[in-house]
Amino acid sequence: MIEVSNLSYRYATQQALRNVSFLLEPATITALVGPNGAGKSTLLRCMAALDNPFAGSIKLWGCDTHENPRACHQLLGFLSDQFGLYDDLTIEQSLGYMAMAHHLPQHSLQPRVELVSRQLGLSDRMQQKTGELSRGLRQRVAIAQAIMHHPKLLLLDEPASGLDPEARHELSNLLKVLCNEGMTIVVSSHILAELADYSTHMLVLREGVVRSHQALGNNRSTHAQQMQLSLSRHMPEAAHMLSAQTGVSGVHIDGQSCQFTFSGDVVDQSRLLAALIAAGLPIAEFTAIKSNLQDLYLADSGRPS
């Protein structure tokens, strides 16, 4: 659990964060969005225990970043938007160096380097110097370095900037894999469409203030989410049949389309679908309604989508 309470941060000429408070649940991906200068990078640096806030506290699984920053560093991986690499080292040396710098046991150094390089698709380039790599590959090496010690929390500041569509897709898949492995991820980005693909939550920051913090349709936990059911023909008793199922609420029928709220994970969804088919509902389509991140963000900013 990540707990941010009344966080304030001041630069010499301006206040970057004002009483920022929120909670992040484990194994979620939070999209940190907001216009330029909203305080996203400052918030991430404070969460990474790299900068001291003027007031307030951040606790990572009970560890206070203010009181015990070094212990917090062991729990997290951070990639800033202006990250750098040791250009004269090969990828293998860079990853090996990072594993040693995190005091990984000697016997697990090589297996960990191999695993992470495989995850990031770097295995076939291990002897290449990082200074010779493209922007996309450098980004992958940097993410590999950030997750080398298997942190519980991964903070990424604009990780997709400068990446081509293919590399972005790979990044998206990687983040989903890491999240499924139990890692909590916070990603700041301007590319909302891409964030919508993998984010489970959205945190909107504007002028240093949290404007909204909400769950999105991608939530893989047991939170309630909106579902849609399309029937092959109109069936008036569908509403009653749906409401009788466990975890279903707020059923709304419009012709052959039904919308309802469902509490449960993907296994529960599978069970619900089987039960509805067994009950004789002529189901043509069964899907979760993904919130459109851009619509939500623009709605929050008071602009038409």
Partner 1 sequence: MMSAELRRNLWLEISQTRLAAIPLLLALIFWGLSSMREPDDYQFLSGAALVLFTLICSLWGAHLASSSITEEAQAQTWDWQRLSSQSPAELMVGKLFGSTVLAWYGGAWCLAAHLALTVLTRQLPSANWLCLSIASAVIIQAGSMLLTLSTPPDQRPVHQQKRGMSALRLLIIIIVLQSIGGLGSKLANSNSTVQWYGADIQLLTFVAVSSIFWAAWALFGCVQRLSTLLRCPTTPAPWLIFVVWCMFYFAGFTHVFADIINSKEAISGAAYYCITAYIVALVLALTLALQEDQSPVSWRMWLTALRNRHYPLAWQRTPRWIATLIPVFIALCFAIFETTTTSPWLLSTPLVLLLRDAVILYCLYWTPGRTRPQLAFSIYLLLVYLLLPYLLSPLKLLFYPSMENPALSLMGFGIEAVLAIAFCNYRWKTFYAN
Interface with partner 1 (CB under 8 A)? 10, 12-13, 48-50, 52-55, 66-67, 69-70, 73-74, 76-78, 80, 82-89, 93, 97-98, 100-103, 106, 145, 149
* 20 versus 49: smaller Cβ distance to partner 1: 49
Identity of the residue numbered 160: A
* 93 versus 294: smaller Cβ distance to partner 1: 93
Q: Report the alpha-carbon distance of residue 177 to residue 195 in Å, rounded.
A: 15
* 55 versus 239: smaller Cβ distance to partner 1: 55
CB of 78 to partner 1, least distance (A): 6
CB of 70 to partner 1, least distance (A): 6
CB of 62 to partner 1, least distance (A): 17
CB of 175 to partner 1, least distance (A): 19
* 26 versus 69: smaller Cβ distance to partner 1: 69
* 133 versus 231: smaller Cβ distance to partner 1: 133
Backbone angles phi, psi at 8, to 5 degrees: -130, 140
* 22 versus 97: smaller Cβ distance to partner 1: 97
* 55 versus 126: smaller Cβ distance to partner 1: 55
How many other β-carbons are positioned within 10 Å of the β-carbon of residue 303? 8
CB of 102 to partner 1, least distance (A): 5
Q: What angle do CA 264, 269, 274 make, to 5 degrees?
A: 140
CB of 259 to partner 1, least distance (A): 45
CB of 34 to partner 1, least distance (A): 22
Q: What angle do CA 151, 7, 34 make, to 5 degrees?
A: 80
